[in-house]
Amino acid sequence: MRMFSVISAALVVCCACAGPAETPAFQGTLSFGPSELVFGYEEGETVVTVESDCEWGAAVSDPSWCTIFPGGGVAGKTEVKVKVQKNLFAEERENCITFRYGRKTAELPVVQTPSSDGPQMFVPEGYKLFWSDEFEGNSLNTDNWTAETGAGGWGNAELQYYTDRTENVAVRDGKLVITARRENYNGAPVTSARLITLDKVKFLYGYVVASIKLPKTANGLWPAFWMMGNDIRTNPWPNCGETDILEMGHANGIAAGTQEKFLNGACHWGVPGHQYYAHDITNSYSVQDGKFHTFTCIWDEDYIRMYIDLETYPDAKPYFEMKIVDFGDNEFRKENFILLNLAVGGNFPAIWDIGQVTALRDGEAAMEVDYVRVFQKK
């Protein structure tokens, strides 16, 4: 559902181009229509027609929920696509598209009505939304995510082959679904998916949260929600830094019979060599109970802290806390990207034989993600 006004406008503004005093100044013009966009709370898009006799550029004041394409043009008529994300807030929100040509500007207001049904987005006090993926629609948003592919153990002797097939990664019913499937595929005994926002969504510090319904890890599954330094291509792991917000399925939990409650957070860096700090807990309740739970990392210039169900239990203590120091490459004071994956076997659960992966005796298991959100301080 979308709604927008159909008010037309023609804004003509003259801009003087440099030239000899005796030469008349060039008169640049730009017009667009509609003159105002009003969207309903659902995700939506429309087209703005821009006409100009000179080059122009455009930018959105808050691109976290409104985007345009293209962001500029030349003389003539150009159709600009304007898209907005679903408004999960209880208040109307406003934005502005600014067109620049010569030394002049013209503004196109954008308004989106508040959500009228369903749960409202929780916004932590003192923060504002930087980015989110609510997994609306019928397919993975490739503007946000890349599905990595391949096998080879991924540095941990894992068993799966990661694919970008819909059998392993899909969006349905407002959820991201990552499915591990026991099947022979390109020489591997099992398939799954691993998603990254590398070079697409990156940020420095924030309140980072995902709502996840975890599968029964039993023996062999290894679901994870984590971050790494966005400079990984030029500064390979571990020097890029790694922050593991959620990992389940560790061998110690298997040995203790506490697979559904045993989880850990960790940070890895690389000076000198591979260094890390990890902390595990046995939670007071199962987080593999068929319900969605939130896993939150609050990251600032001084600390990294991680929480379970912080929105439900605002007085919860962190299950992981690390003071940030300069380990040599400022691994935790630079832009990071997000990863979500469901690994099978490997060094973490200490299972290297697919026959010992009891979690896949029915053939497959899925990890569902309701949303991933990044808030930053106002």
Identity at 205, one-letter amino acid code: Y
Helix (H, G, I), strand (E, B) or coil at 354: helix
State CA 45 to chain mean position distance.
21
Enumerate helices (H) and strands (E) in the chain, giving the number of each.
1, 26
**CB-CB contact of 138 with 65 (8 Å):** no
Helix (H, G, I), strand (E, B) or coil at 56: strand
Identity at 5, one-letter amino acid code: S
Tell me the DSSP string of 15-55.
Answer: -PPP--TTSPPP---EEEE-S-EEE-SS-EEEEEEEEESS-
Q: Does the active-site annotation cover 301?
A: no
What does the alpha-carbon distance between residue 68 and residue 214 come to, in Å, rounded to a whole number? 36
Main-chain phi, psi angles of 355, to 5 degrees: -70, -20
Beta strand pairing call for 188-192 and 175-185: antiparallel
**CB-CB contact of 217 with 314 (8 Å):** no
Omega of the bond leading into 236 within 30 degrees of 0 (cis):
no
Q: Does the active-site annotation cover 242?
A: yes
Which of 43, 134, 247, 331 does the annotation list as catalytic?
247
Taking alpha carbons only, the member of 9, 107, 108, 104 closest to residue 54 is 104
Which of 134, 158, 242, 368 does the annotation list as catalytic?
242
Q: If residue 370 lies in a helix (H) or strand (E), which one and from where to where?
A: strand 364-377
Active site members: 242, 247
